[in-house]
Structure 1
């Protein structure tokens, strides 16, 4: 292999990742990956014996890239709740991550246990960053508060992004979560 040139295996993963993001799991065939990557079918199958193995490699890559990007993403801010919400918005502002949610939530009946486990690890990347944020700001939430905050973040940011709607802004979400009628007391 030439120096600085990506491996064929990596090229196949990158191609499949783009196709899965654009066409979903069902719409992405091994033949389409072969054609789009301009490699032979034996090359794909020698690296990825099944579509599930290829999908698992894409899941691992997106998780790793997300983890790396989170380390570079600024978790600073005076207000932990605004930073929490901004982190959710950053997470949902990725076509690759949204594709993983669409595929794993919409086509989970087609997934093997390995893919389900990798999806749990994928979501844990964001949860670890949120845990680090709470620790950095010395914030302790009850299990109920954490559950409600996660549910509100998903409903206000992730679900609209998945359905092509505009997510609520950090300011709007912050207002809803800190209003006197909110289920989470003293989140300021």
Structure 2
């Protein structure tokens, strides 16, 4: 393999990620991956014996990318010395829901659960742990109880993630900020 040139396996995974993101799991076939990646069917099958194995490898790749991207967002927030909890929290959630490939991963898991193996669900837990880790790291600088953390996540999920998944209008960041600020104000300091 030439230096700097991606392996065929990595190329196949990248192409599969794009197809799964655009078309979903059900509508993406191995033949489409073969065609889009410009490789032979035996090459795909020698690396990925089933479409599920290919999807799981793609999900692992998407998780690695998400980790890099969320680390970058966290670093930018920390470098900017963002000391206000709510804008940083919203920035992390916005970065998470702002990627089509992440939304596609949720849709695939929700819509194709019956075709997934236990290993797929374990990989999805790792995928979601990327967001959880970024949020947990962000709150370390602020006095937030576990119960408040849970409530903040639930509100943010309903305001941003669920509408994005359903192609609905997300709550405006200003309104979300207001809702989260109200939640934080309603929590007594002793519960923080």
Relative to the length of structure 1, the TM-score reads: 0.91
Match of 1:134 among 114, 136, 139: 139
Q: Return closer, same or farther for 1:38/1:105 CA change in 2, 3 Å cut-off.
A: same
SS of alignment partner, residue 75 of structure 1: helix
Structure 1 residue 140 displacement after superposition: 2.6
- The answer on whether the counterparts of 2:86 and 2:180 sit within 8 Å (CA) in structure 1 is no
Report the equivalent of 1:159.
162
Q: 1:150 maps to what in 2?
A: 153
Q: Is the contact made by 2:103 and 2:165 (CA closer than 8 Å) also made in structure 1?
A: yes
User: Who is 1:19 aligned against?
Assistant: 19
The answer to whether 1:89 aligns with 2:97 is no
Aligned length: 184
Please say if 1:176 is aligned against 2:173: no
Instruction: Report the equivalent of 1:185.
Output: 186
Alignment match, 2:44: 44
Higher helix share: 2
Structure 1 residue 184 displacement after superposition? 6.5
Q: 1:184 to 1:152 in 2, by over 3 A?
A: farther
Deviations 1:39-61 (A, max 9, x none): 10000000001111111111111
Deviation at 1:97, TM superposition (A): 0.5
Gaps of 5+ in 1: none
Q: Give the drift of 1:139.
A: 2.2
CA–CA distance in structure 1, aligned partners of residues 77 and 59 of structure 2: 24
Deviation string 1:34-87 (CA, Å, 9 cap, x unpaired) is 111111000000000111111111111111111111222123312112211121
After superposition, residues 99-114 of structure 1 pair within 5 angstroms as 99-114=104-119
Residue among 118, 122, 132 paired with 2:123: 118
CA distance in 1, matches of 2:122, 2:175: 34
Q: What is the SS of the residue equivalent to 1:138?
A: coil
Task: Tell whether the 8 Å contact from 2:52 to 2:116 is kept in structure 1 after alignment.
Answer: yes
For 2:122 and 2:142, the matched residues in 1 are separated by 30
Q: Would you say 1:35 and 2:35 are equivalent positions?
A: yes
| Cα RMSD, aligned residues only | 1.8
C-alpha distance in structure 1 between counterparts of 2:106 and 2:51, whole Å? 18
The corresponding residue for 2:77 is 75
